[in-house]
Amino acid sequence: MKKSSEKSAEKPEVIVIGGAAGSVRFLLSLAPALGTDLGIPFLVVIHRMRNEESRLGQILDYRLDLPVKEADEKDEIRPGVMYVAPPDYHLLVEDDRTLTLVDMELVKYSRPSIDVTFTSVSEVYGSAAVAILLSGANDDGTSGLAAIAHAGGRAIAQDPAASEVDTMPKSSIEVVEECEVMGRKEMMAYLNSLRSVASRTGGHPA
Partner 1 sequence: MIFRKYSAEKYNLVTDSSFNEFNLIVCRNVLIYFEKELQDRVVHLFHDSLPPLGFLALGHKESLRFSTAESYFESTDKDEKIFRKIR
Helices 167-175 and 142-150 cross at an angle (nearest 10°) of: 40
Chain residues 102-121 in contact with partner 1, contact rule CB under 8 A:
102-103
Are 141 and 73 within 8 A, CB to CB?
no
Quick one: 73 or 174, whose CB is closer to partner 1? 73
CB of 116 to partner 1, least distance (A): 14
Nearest-angstrom CA–CA distance, 52 and 180:
33
> Longest Cα pair distance anywhere in the chain, in angstroms?
44
Task: Give the list of residues 6+ apart from residue 8 with CB closer than 8 angstroms, or none.
Answer: none
Binding part of the chain for partner 1, among 40-48, 60-68, 71-79, 192-200 by CB under 8 A, reads 71-79
Q: Which amino acid makes up residue 40?
A: I
- Check binding of 52 to partner 1 (CB under 8 A): no
CB of 89 to partner 1, least distance (A): 6
Quick one: 37 or 52, whose CB is closer to partner 1? 52
CA 65 to the chain's CA centroid:
17
- Check binding of 73 to partner 1 (CB under 8 A): yes
- Check binding of 86 to partner 1 (CB under 8 A): yes
Burial of 135 (0-12, 13-18, 19+ CB in 10 A): buried
Binding residue for partner 1, selected from 26, 89, 118, 125, defined by CB under 8 A: 89
Q: Residue count at the site for partner 1 (CB under 8 A)?
A: 11
Q: Which residues bind partner 1 (CB under 8 A)?
A: 71-74, 86, 88-89, 100-103
